[in-house]
């Protein structure tokens, strides 16, 4: 054991009446909700990058955290960080974690050296995973931080950058497979443009489509059984990103023949940046059959950027879990806490507080959604709104009638429909009964 979390005890479920700030009040991993363990519904994961690699900087100031793994050589720090990470997983009793390649090991002077460094640390992960229960929810390659990617990775005008990114993803995909990862995520951090003045958008989209097809082909070649995921985000760091939202990603997948091969990892904050609600993106992904996994966080609505705060809105999570339960769950996916403590939250205990609050919020949202579905009133109200489409005449419009046939029937039957209430206020009140 390191002494980073010295004096802190493992977090346990103590129930809603507990006043212990380092206890779960609602997240009881073994509680049965809608026929399944709570942990199996949520499948929560710690994000390595925000929890252990982020230094507390912002656009106006550098490091605010003073972590022990910053001292010494980069590889010594990476090894200590791995020890602390698995101690943290044990303290939280959490089943999954996620990481980018550069989160866990320093980059070298060449790709070969970077891979050597990465495998040194992931070998440590593999050994720790033999004796601990935490597993890998997903892995990914960071193709946005290094200056070589300032104009994108697969969409870069320089083919050598495309090639480097392909090699980087190949190795990270193989490591994810070796560690038993349930998914592999691609986030196009700079797969977009800063100005159209120097951009050939069609070429860049074609190159990104080719890149993703190569990833899917290699995943099958190595026997990877997990899901390949794209994480939509509209902007930041790029002015415009090609994976803007779920609808845009689905159109991209259809264009390049990948709609049966790739799903989406939806982040709360990214949904808001795209001008949507979280449940909108989940609902659309469920409707299109591409809902794969979730990044749990929230944005500060007074700020216009991705603030990655821990979730604390139970109502929002209830609507999210409604969509997920209606989807039959997340399959290989889960809830990754792509969230970071504030730069003034300096203490190791703050890392626990963030995840405890997030897990309690998810637990309450899950139970509210399950109760809403079990009650049936909400689903019945929505079904009644669309009941007219179950009639033979309505079904015929969708199958065999021509436009002229429909028009003739309207005149013959003197159809003159009158508006009906959407009952929005009633439905909002109904949802709030369960939150």
The catalytic residues are 100, 103
Query: What DSSP line would sit under 372-402, residue for residue?
Result: HHHH-HHHHHHHHHTGGGGSHHHHHHHHT--
| 3-class DSSP state of 252 | helix
Strands 192-193, 240-241: pairing kind: antiparallel
SS3 sequence, 174-229?
HHHHHCCCCEEEECCCCCEECCHHHCCHHHHHHHHHHHHHHHHHHHHHCCCCCEEE
CA distance 178 to 267: 26
Helices (H), 73-110: 74-92, 101-104
Answer whether 136's CB lies under 8 Å from 185's CB: no
Yes or no: say if 212 and 188 are a contact pair by the CB < 8 Å rule.
no
Q: Rounded distance, CA 238 to CA 245, Å? A: 14
Q: Do the beta carbons of residue 68 and residue 4 sit within 8 Å?
A: yes
Calpha distance 148→131 (Å, rounded): 38
Q: What are phi and psi of 98, to 5 degrees?
A: -135, 150
């Amino acid at each position: 054991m390191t002494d980073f979390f010295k004096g802190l005890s493992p977090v346990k479920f103590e129930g809603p009446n507990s006043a212990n700030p380092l206890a779960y009040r609602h997240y009881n991993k073994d509680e049965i909700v809608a026929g399944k363990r709570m942990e199996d519904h949520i499948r929560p994961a710690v994000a390595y990058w925000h929890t252990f690699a982020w230094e507390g900087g912002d656009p106006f100031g550098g490091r605010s955290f003073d972590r022990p793994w910053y001292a010494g050589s980069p590889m010594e720090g990476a090894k200590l960080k791995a020890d602390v990470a698995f101690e943290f997983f044990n303290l939280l009793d959490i089943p999954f974690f996620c990481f980018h390649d550069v989160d866990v090991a320093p980059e070298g002077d060449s790709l070969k050296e970077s891979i050597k460094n990465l495998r040194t640390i992931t070998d440590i992960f593999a050994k720790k995973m033999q004796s601990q229960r935490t597993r890998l929810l997903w892995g990914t390659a960071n193709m946005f931080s290094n200056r070589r990617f300032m104009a994108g990775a697969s969409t870069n005008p320089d083919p050598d950058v495309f090639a480097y990114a392909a090699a980087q993803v190949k190795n990270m995909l193989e490591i994810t497979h070796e560690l038993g990862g349930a998914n592999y995520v691609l986030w196009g951090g700079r797969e977009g443009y800063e100005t159209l003045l120097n951009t050939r958008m069609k070429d860049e989209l074609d190159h990104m489509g080719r890149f993703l097809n190569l990833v899917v082909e290699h995943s099958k070649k190595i026997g990877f059984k997990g899901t390949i995921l794209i994480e939509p985000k509209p902007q930041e760091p790029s002015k415009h990103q090609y994976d803007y939202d779920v609808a845009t990603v689905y159109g991209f997948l259809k264009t390049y023949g990948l709609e049966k091969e790739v799903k989406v990892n939806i982040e709360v904050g990214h949904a808001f940046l795209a001008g949507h609600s979280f449940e909108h993106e989940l609902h659309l992904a469920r409707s299109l059959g591409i809902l794969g996994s979730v990044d749990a966080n929230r944005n500060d609505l007074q700020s216009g950027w991705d603030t990655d705060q821990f979730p604390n809105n139970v109502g929002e999570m209830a609507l999210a879990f409604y969509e997920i339960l209606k989807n039959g769950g997340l399959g290989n996916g889960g809830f990754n806490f792509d969230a970071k403590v504030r730069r003034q939250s300096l203490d190791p205990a703050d890392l626990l507080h963030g995840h405890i609050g997030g897990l309690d919020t998810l637990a309450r949202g899950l139970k509210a959604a399950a109760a809403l579905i079990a009650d049936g009133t909400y689903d019945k109200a929505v079904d009644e709104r669309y009941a007219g489409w179950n009639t033979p005449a309505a079904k015929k419009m969708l199958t065999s009638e021509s436009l002229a046939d429909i028009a003739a029937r309207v005149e013959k039957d003197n159809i003159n429909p009158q508006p009906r209430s959407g009952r929005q206020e009633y439905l909002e009140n109904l949802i709030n009964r369960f939150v």
